[in-house]
Amino acid sequence: MNMTTSVMAHSAPAQLLLMEDVTRRFGGLTAVEGFTGHVGFGERVGLIGPNGAGKTTLFNLITGITGVSSGTVHFCGERVTGLAPDNLARMGVARTFQNLRVLPNMSVFDNVSIGALGVVGHSPWSSLLGRRTLSNRISKLTWQALERTGLCDQAGMLAANLSYGRRKYLEIARALALQPKLLILDEPAAGLNDTETAELAFFIRSLSDQGLSVMLVEHDMGFVMSLCDRIMVMASGRKIADGPPAHIAAHPAVLEAYLGTEEDEL
């Protein structure tokens, strides 16, 4: 295992994100156990599973918000296990949150500029001296992200006054401003109606057509099945299936995890 890992790190990476035997324990509870999986370049990967399966914990492990108990994570061929979230974000892992975490007392533009700030960098001295170099780059990236998400008209609005659906796009815009290689979406369609969900699927597809890899957790099966190239299924912290949507829909372990076994029904 170690041999292959070190070889992977030095040659051109085959996968954008590679998780090997990743485990996370919280006290006596094992939230994620021996998870091995990958996300390829330009791929749209779905992560599904019953409530409490460890999907959000896995996202937190990938983005560095929680540290792994054991196992390794590689991003772009580099070992990133144990890196802080801000490091990972600057390397190109951008995320949205399950319960929207827009910055309510700031404008839409300022919200998105945080992502741009993360990737461009920040210095009190450049602000103090009124230098324009950093701020010009930040404002360019911010407008680009607003344009991609169609939020230009609402740029001056306070984020708290934005409708729920638009806030979802705001979070995506903020992540896009980071110029990510991998976009991680935690339940992007939750709380959206059918039309909005369809629009969102179309939008995510357009992002991945531009070369962005997307990984998402979602409970709306229709959304995941139609959007994703590949689906990983988790149950009780373990990966129980991995494959294209058609394969997953017919997978006996998946049906068991969601519907229970035939004996259970009796």
Query: Which residues are at the interface with another protein (CB under 8 A)?
Result: 63, 65, 84-86, 89-90, 94-95, 97, 101, 103-106, 110, 113-119, 122-124, 126-130, 134-135, 138-139, 174-175, 178
List C-alpha distances in Å: 198 to 55, 186, 226.
23, 17, 10
Nearer to another protein, 49 or 118 (CB): 118
Nearer to another protein, 35 or 109 (CB): 109
Residue 114 CB, nearest approach to another protein (Å): 5
Nearer to another protein, 82 or 104 (CB): 104
Give me the residues paired with residue 20 across strands: 72
- If residue 112 lies in a helix (H) or strand (E), which one and from where to where? helix 108-120
Nearer to another protein, 4 or 105 (CB): 105
Residue 189 CB, nearest approach to another protein (Å): 20
Three-state secondary structure readout of 199-210: HHHHHHHHHHHC
Residue 178 CB, nearest approach to another protein (Å): 6
Residue 49 CB, nearest approach to another protein (Å): 21
> What phi, psi does 109 have (nearest 5°)?
-60, -45
Q: CA nearest 47: which of 175, 187, 181?
A: 187
Nearer to another protein, 63 or 197 (CB): 63
Q: Cα–Cα distance between 205 and 222 in angstroms, integer? A: 15
Residue 91 CB, nearest approach to another protein (Å): 9
Amino acid identity of 46?
G
